Amino acid sequence: MHRYRSVGDSPRSINHEGGSPSLHYIANGLELLILRCELLCRNGGFAMNASMPKDWNAAYESDDTPWDKGVAAPPLRAFLATHPFRGRVLVPGCGLGHDVRLLAEQGASVVGLDIVPKAVRKAQAIEAVGDERFEVADFLNLAEIYHGQFDAVVEHTCLCALDPAQRVAYVRAVLQALKPGGHYLAVFFREVSDYDGAGPPHPIAAEEIATLFGEAFETIERLVPQDCYPGRPVGSEEVCLMRKRSGSEPL
């Protein structure tokens, strides 16, 4: 796999232990961080208002789900083969839960969230492979019961499936979900063939990734995956592993 760069040692196992963090947050610090991110996005010319968000409920009800390939994302499978996760892991926009089960097979305790009840029902109907569960929830308006509960948030093109205007809310939810020092593992769409702004998916530039995540997270590793779904060109995706900065904690 071609690597963009690595900051610090690449972890062989991402294992979190220790006491539970306080769930009492001072909102002002987090809101200030998000406000600064919004201003940076606007000043950088990144999309803050775009097309209407996709109706995910309608897509599942009509079985119009071309993004569901029936297996866990190849870039995640390849990365997790050498970077296994432990502890509590959250998978937003989990769909039928293929990536959730991949993590659970490795020994993580995984919660898959999706806003669509039909997707969650289908995920729950599949035989469990480990310690995984699926719940209906709106990740962009993350309920307090999920705040500060997870050692890692793992996603495959979830951010890029959202309308670009929702990206700041997404980053806020990732920050809320993670424990201090928690990890964020993402597969981003860097390029989308014949993209005309309609989406999803919506590609994201390296500059916008830096603007959205740079202040609150440190980048540990970035690479171009060589294992992709059939028909998805090598080079169109990027795997990023980040760690929540101590200074970004909503104390």
- Residue range(s) defining the domain that contains residue 126: 2-7+24-248
Domain total for the chain? 1
Query: For residue range 104-122, what is the model confidence (pLDDT) as tens digits?
Result: 999 999 999 998 999 999 9
Give pLDDT tens digits for 120-149: 999 999 999 999 999 999 999 999 999 999
71 in a domain, yes or no? yes
pTM of the model as a whole: 0.76
234 inside domain? yes
CATH code where residue 133 lies? 3.40.50.150
C-alpha closest to that of 132 among 113, 151, 152: 113
